[in-house]
Amino acid sequence: MVRNRLDKENADKKLLQNTTTNIKETSLKIWRLLLSLILFVLGIVIGLISSSHVDINRYMITSTPSSQDPSFYTTYVGVFNRADIKNDVSNRTESIKHNSSSSSVGCGFVSRSRESCKNEGCLDFDKFLNPKELIHMMSDDELFWRASMVPTIKGYPFNRVPKVAFMFLTRGPLPFLPIWERFFGGYDGLFSIYVHTQPGVILNVSPDSVFFARQIPSQKVYWGDVTMADAEKRLLANALLDFSNERFVLVSESCIPIYNFKTVHKYLTESVHSFVESYDDPTRYGRGRYSRRMMPDIRLYQWRKGSQWFEMSRALAVEIISDYKYYDLFRKYCHPSCYPDEHYIPTYLNIFHAPVNSNRTVTYVDWSLGGPHPASFGRENITESFIQKIRNNGTECWYNSQRTTLCYLFARKFNPTALEPLLDISSKVMGF
């Protein structure tokens, strides 16, 4: 009995010792595990702090070269190699970052003044509203997507003065550039200029010209081909990036204004309608160009024809560059003798936006000679009475639901020999 009791006591002591040992070992393992977790988390935190420091330096102190710099413009206009431009801009940016490294506070902090932020390349509201640089590396799809953005908040957080965007679709130089420079003179802030040329063409203008650095990234255009309509949409999209542009006019290198800027600006910005010629031509030159493969989206009775040289509001411009469905039908089926530039926009507006279109153009063209091209006017045609006859040709039209004789603001087709006599009479006849 005594022995059994001693054995039991010894067994209890041994069990107690084993239990104590196990508890100590378990506690030690737990502490080791906790210490490992703490070190692991600490390592992650240090890594995140280090990487965020790099990102701040990388993204908050940046700047890009300005296309208003003549050397930049000479280098890049007409040569749009994305890789080359990106590398060069990157090199310039690195140089700017290096020169700015002594600054202890980045422009991303609230304490920086607006002026210093502009100088250091921060995202600025003015730059967003009115981009000064037209050279970019966006594809057409990227450009159209960006340009299709429409604010949903009513009103503007800035003093918005509506501008007219003049979009020049040209094969080469602008022979009537001196006429246009006179026309624009003294009206800065009320207009924007965009020029689409054939790739490689560089406008030879001085840095103080309103046409300086106003070429957009362009692509090859063929007469009567869908590439012509592509160029029109490209011009619209680039012009839409400026939120102050309210009206959009398409003109060619052979166009001239026949009224002064004040008259043109007032006429367009106060109009409740756009000026896109759109009519039903029952001949083979109209309905004869329709393809039944466009059904059921576009039917013959909806098919329209009109002058390529349009003028439209900002709202319609957004609709045009946002459309892919109907434009793809023209790309697929409007060829070889269909001329998308004469049918796409007139047809699209007829289907969806007829009430806000005047169905007429504000660009005078003389088709009296017949044939595929209008009459062309040279030196021998230019007189005061000739221009007055275009301005007051007996035509009446509707403007804001009122009858008027002021129907045309521009005229074409003029050849380069007309420049000198036009300059001689512009101030007396056209008012500029």
Indicate the range of 44-48, 230-234, 261-265, 391-395 predicted with least confidence: 44-48
Looking at 91, 123, 155, the residue that finishes a domain is 123
- pLDDT given for residue 35 in this prediction: 74
Place of tokens 């329209």: 304
For residues 227 and 146, membership in a common domain is answered with: yes
Indicate the range of 46-60, 295-309, 327-341 predicted with least confidence: 46-60
The pTM (predicted TM-score) of the whole model is 0.74
Looking at 123, 153, 184, the residue that finishes a domain is 123
Which CA distances in Å does 392 have to 262, 302, 419?
18, 33, 21
Which amino acid appears at position 339 of this protein? Y
14 occurs within a structural domain = no
For residues 81 and 206, membership in a common domain is answered with: no
Q: How does pLDDT run across 316-355, given as a tens digit for each residue?
A: 999 999 999 999 999 999 988 899 999 999 999 999 999 9
Proportion of the chain above pLDDT 90, given as a percent = 64
- pLDDT of 157 > 50? The answer is yes
Residue 372 CA, chain-centre distance (Å), reads: 32
Which amino acid appears at position 164 of this protein? V
For residues 320 and 210, membership in a common domain is answered with: yes
Q: How far apart are the first and last CA of the chain?
A: 132
* Residue 282 or 41, more confident: 282
60 occurs within a structural domain = no
Looking at 123, 141, 166, the residue that finishes a domain is 123
For residues 409 and 305, membership in a common domain is answered with: yes
For residues 178 and 83, membership in a common domain is answered with: no
Rg for the chain, CA atoms, rounded: 34
* Residue 135 or 282, more confident: 282
18 occurs within a structural domain = no
For residues 308 and 411, membership in a common domain is answered with: yes
3 occurs within a structural domain = no
- pLDDT of 30 > 90? The answer is no
Tell me the residue range of the domain where 422 lies: 133-430
- pLDDT of 127 > 70? The answer is yes
For residues 167 and 212, membership in a common domain is answered with: yes
Q: How does pLDDT run across 309-318, given as a tens digit for each residue?
A: 999 999 999 9
For residues 103 and 226, membership in a common domain is answered with: no
399 occurs within a structural domain = yes
* Residue 147 or 120, more confident: 147
* Residue 18 or 201, more confident: 201
49 occurs within a structural domain = no
- pLDDT of 121 > 70? The answer is no
For residues 115 and 256, membership in a common domain is answered with: no
224 occurs within a structural domain = yes
Query: Closest Cα to residue 251, out of 320, 318, 329, 307?
Result: 307
Query: Closest Cα to residue 226, out of 281, 308, 144, 288?
Result: 308
- pLDDT given for residue 369 in this prediction: 86
- pLDDT given for residue 315 in this prediction: 98
**Number of domains into which the chain is organized:** 2
For residues 152 and 291, membership in a common domain is answered with: yes
Most confident of 25-29, 105-109, 221-225, 294-298: 294-298
Number of alpha carbons in the 13 Å side-chain half-sphere of residue 391: 17
For residues 299 and 418, membership in a common domain is answered with: yes
For residues 91 and 222, membership in a common domain is answered with: no
- pLDDT given for residue 6 in this prediction: 47
- pLDDT given for residue 113 in this prediction: 60
Of the pLDDT bands very low, low, confident and very high (cuts 50, 70, 90), residue 386 is very high
Indicate the range of 47-61, 197-211, 221-235, 355-369 predicted with least confidence: 47-61
33 occurs within a structural domain = no
- pLDDT of 357 > 70? The answer is yes
Q: Which residues contact 237 (CB under 8 A, 6 or more apart)?
A: 140, 143, 144, 146, 147, 321
Of the pLDDT bands very low, low, confident and very high (cuts 50, 70, 90), residue 23 is low
